[in-house]
Amino acid sequence: MNLLLRWASSLSLLLILSAGPVSAQSSSTAATAASAHVVVHKSPTCGCCTKWVEHLRSNGFTVEVHDEADVAPSKRRLGVPAPMASCHTAEVGGYFVEGHVPAADIRRLLTQRPAIRGLAVPGMPAGSPGMELPDGRVAPYTVHQVDGDGTVSDFARHGQ
C-alpha cells in the first residue's frame, strides 16, 4: 500500500510540474496580448480614428499615433487589400489591423497567432468602436481576416 501511495504522489507531482510551463506560457501569451503596443497610421483630422485609438487605450493597449496626410503608402506597405480599406491602419504583433476592429478581436488575434496578414473592417460600420451611436445600437458588420495569399474570410461578426 505504501508503494502505491508513493507512486500516486510521484505521478501527481509529475503532472503538476509538466503542466506548469504550459500554464505559464498561456498566461504570458495572454498578458502580451492584453498589453500589446499598437502603431496607428491615420489622418490628423479623423475624429473616428481618434475615438478608435481611445477605445484601444481603454482596453489596455499602448498606442503610438502617426498622423499622416496620406495613409495609402502605409496601407500598401502592410499589404492591406484595397477592397478592405478604411480610414486608419494599424500595426500590432506583426499583423495589420485595418479600420474599426474591436479591441477584443485584436486581443484574440494576438493570443491565437493565426498565419494571416491581418484583420480588416472595411468602411465605417455604425456602432463599431470609434463609430458608436448615441442609442448604443451596433449595425451588423464583419471583421475579416486576410490570409498570406490575399484570401479574405470571416474572423468575427458583430451586431447580429
In this prediction, residue 3 carries a pLDDT of 43
In this prediction, residues 135-148 reach a mean pLDDT of 97
Q: Give dist(CA 2, CA 56) in Å, integer.
A: 57
In this prediction, residue 41 carries a pLDDT of 98
In this prediction, residue 16 carries a pLDDT of 35
Q: Give dist(CA 121, CA 34) in Å, integer.
A: 21
Say how far residue 73 (Cα) sits from the centre of its chain: 22
In this prediction, residue 160 carries a pLDDT of 83
User: Does the pLDDT at position 30 exceed 70?
Assistant: no
User: Does the pLDDT at position 18 exceed 60?
Assistant: no
H helical segments located in the chain: 2-34, 47-58, 72-78, 103-112
Domain edges within the chain: 37-158
Q: What is the b/e burial string over 47-83, where b = at least 16 CB atoms within 10 angstroms of the residue's CB? A: ebbbebbebbeeeebebebeebeebeebbeebebbee
Q: What is the pLDDT of residues 32-54, one digit of tens each?
A: 555 699 999 999 999 999 999 99
For 14, 24, 101, the CA distances from 11, given in Å and listed in that order, are: 5, 20, 46
